[in-house]
Amino acid sequence: MKRLLSFALAGLLAISAQAQAPQSPEIAARSYLLLDMTANRVLTERDADTPNDPASLTKLMTAYVVFGALRDKRLSLEQTLPVSKRAWDERKGDPSLMFIDTLMTPKVDELLHGMIIQSGNDASVALAEGVAGTVEQFVAMMNRQARAWALTNTEFKNVTGMTETGHKSSARDLSVIAANLIRDFPEYYAYYSQREFTYNKIRQHNRNLLLTRDASVDGMKTGYTSAAGYCLIASSQRDYPNGKRRLLSIVMGAASKEARASESQKLLNWGYSAFDAVRLFEKAQAISTVPVWKGVLPEAKLGASGAVYVAVPRGEGAKLQTKIERSDPLVAPLTKGQRVGVIKVSTTAGVAVAEVPLVVLEEVPLAGIFGRAWDAVRLWIK
């Protein structure tokens, strides 16, 4: 059964998968999920809520917390950070490395390249210590963010993704992390599209094979441990006549590097070919104008806060209809963005497709005492 993301993206509250969906492809992996980020719809999935070892997909949350520190001015890209013995000790066992040592003071920007492109465990530890002082405090920040997003199948024990008892996540939870990273930090997302990075005269290639195979793929992250198998989150954006459309595939537990890439590509191609993203409303488009009581304005413009897309099986877009359900009467003051109802999208056969918050598009302040009194009488008579 196709399921929904448990949180709202781009204004969509929920999307039903009751409509007949195209047959999804067979995917050779432990679990997977394909998300249409533009329409906020999970197009297909298998065992997406099963907790697994996330390997280096963990570093998406590590990066999210670091990006938050940059946004809040607690860190800067040009700032240099020391390399602790703990970061240097990541060399033990020969995992993924940036190859920094305790005599170096790399910049935050360099460490981000090392963590994202080279999947450096040493870079991850250095960044965590630079943000939070200790790895343990940084991991606590990661888990607080996971709880804020209600990721019930995720618990972090480290910042690198190395196998550790209790360290877990699921395909659905990882899709939430990846989608929020893309949406919240577009200025840093370009790191994930870079194909190689050289530091300390050591050149390493991005392990995401789709970056060189599919021009529409611009991220995100690979992972591997013996417990996790081969994992890949791939993000792709393609241009269509009604705008750009982004899909996000999560593949966990594939058999090889090649398999994780080919299975991810299979999911992306199927999602683009089997579904249409239909743009119903533009951002801040007035869908309805309704009377307001006790306000300085007689009417309020209502609509969706962002552009509204829905994903439907190819060719089904003409069968959609919308219905507005709102509070009545609307009484001032009304603030911009205040939710006053829902926009329900369904097929002509009555199958629910989406519910979108109906919000006030322009503020309506409270009227003066005489205006309020007159409307109070009118409401009483009504």
User: Is 236 labeled as catalytic in the residue annotation?
Assistant: no
* H or E element that contains 215: none
Torsion, Cα 111 117 121 124, to 10 degrees, reads: 40
Q: Which of 119, 124, 170, 235 is catalytic?
A: 119
Give yes or no: 221 in active site: no
* Close Cβ partners of 299 (under 8 Å, ≥ 6 residues apart): 289, 290, 291, 292
Of the listed 31, 56, 236, 305, which one is catalytic? 56
Strands 31-36 and 243-254: antiparallel
**Whole-number Å distance between alpha carbons of 286 and 304:** 8
β-pair type (330-331, 286-293): parallel
In this structure, are strands 320-326 and 299-303 parallel, antiparallel, or unpaired? Answer: unpaired
Structure token digits, residue 309: 């897309």
Burial of 130 (C-beta count, 10 Å sphere; 0-12/13-18/19+): buried
What kind and span of H or E run contains 349?
Answer: none
User: At a CB cut-off of 8 Å and minimum separation 6, what does 262 contact?
Assistant: none
* Catalytic site includes residue 273: no
> Which of 59, 157, 168, 266 is the catalytic position?
59
DSSP, collapsed to helix, strand or coil, labels residue 24 as coil
- List residues with catalytic annotation: 56, 59, 119
